[in-house]
Amino acid sequence: MAKYPSEIFGCYLRNISPEAEEMRRKYWCPFHESPCYKQSRLIDYPFGVCTAHVDGQEIALCPRRFLEKNKVFHDIALSKFGTSDNVLVFSEVGLPGIGSFDFVMVQHKPLSTHVEDFVAIEFQTGQTTSTGQLVKGFKTFIIDRRLPEGSSYHFGINMYDIWKRTFTQILNKGIIMEKWGKKIFWVVQDPVFNYFQKKFRLSDMGYSKNHCSVFSLYDLKENGQRLDLLPTRMFSSTVDALFDAFRRNDDIPPVERFVERLESKLTGDMKIALHLSREKAPAKFDAPKPGATGRVREPSDEFK
């Protein structure tokens, strides 16, 4: 099925209004009311793909996409506090030794700095593989202001990598919230969450107001010349249930398959392997190249 950038600088591809053209000309993000902050090493201007059309679905690729009209925050405030009065949202709130939360929503006493309650909020969007192909489609649109009829680009959504990185955060931050007796809302798009639910066999998940880890799901639906962010479902869980699902994941291949791979390498790659009994390691043996921040760069890290 076709794959292409479907929302560029906050505007659906079908939107060719003067307002949309102005946002594209300015490289503007209407969801944050500021210039787009995404970058790619393949272009010297912002990489403004908010959403991609993949296999019949619109997949948000930028966390700012969830900021549309502050819908997500209003929904969470009503769900948790029953009102949005006396509620403030702070971004990037750090916790020493742990990291930071994308957002913290605070309910305070009227005309007071006294905190009555709070929740943490995390955004999780899609991540692409072969992102150079997505950049190709993006560049074509920027130059021609359209994509050729039937265009499709060979990039993908790396669902496995998304949840490999996120699951440990869900567990770590979930433990903290359970200890504090507070909630953390994970804002995820419906098709992205579906992969998580299927892979870890969480099909029996429901919703309980007593659970601290809440998955608040949204989706993007076409509405004429725009895509609308719409709430769909809500699930919740305990850390124990999530950890049990993580531990019993039977996608792990049998050890025999890995041994077969090692034996294959012994057959073909013995010359470039590191022989511990030799004083000098072979010149071609090296450690993975670190990224700009010092951590090992993985394929999906190429673009942010």
Which domains, ranges and CATH numbers included, belong to the chain? Answer: 63-124+158-247 (3.40.1350), 253-285 (no CATH)
| Cα of 139 vs its chain's centroid, Å | 23
Please name the residues in contact with 270: beta carbons below 8 A apart, sequence gap of 6 or more.
Answer: none
What pLDDT, on the 0 to 100 scale, is given for residue 294? 41
Element (H, E) at 110: none
Residue 201, CB half-sphere, CA atoms under 13 Å: how many? 9
β-strands 213-223, 226-237 pairing:
antiparallel
What pLDDT is stored for residue 99 in this prediction? 85
- The pLDDT of residue 199 is 86
Low-confidence stretches of the chain (pLDDT < 50) are 285, 291-304
189, 60 Cβ separation under 8 angstroms? yes
The first and second tokens of residue 133, run together, are 């192909």
Residues 105 and 179 sit within 8 Å (Cβ to Cβ): no
The pLDDT, as a whole number, for residue 270 is 58
**Residues 6+ away with beta carbon under 8 Å from 94:** 100
How confident is the model over 73-126, as pLDDT tens digits? 999 999 999 999 999 999 999 988 878 999 999 999 999 999 999 999 999 999
Q: List the Cα angle 3/11/229 in 5-degree steps.
A: 80
Query: How far apart are alpha carbons 57 and 129 in whole angstroms?
Result: 16
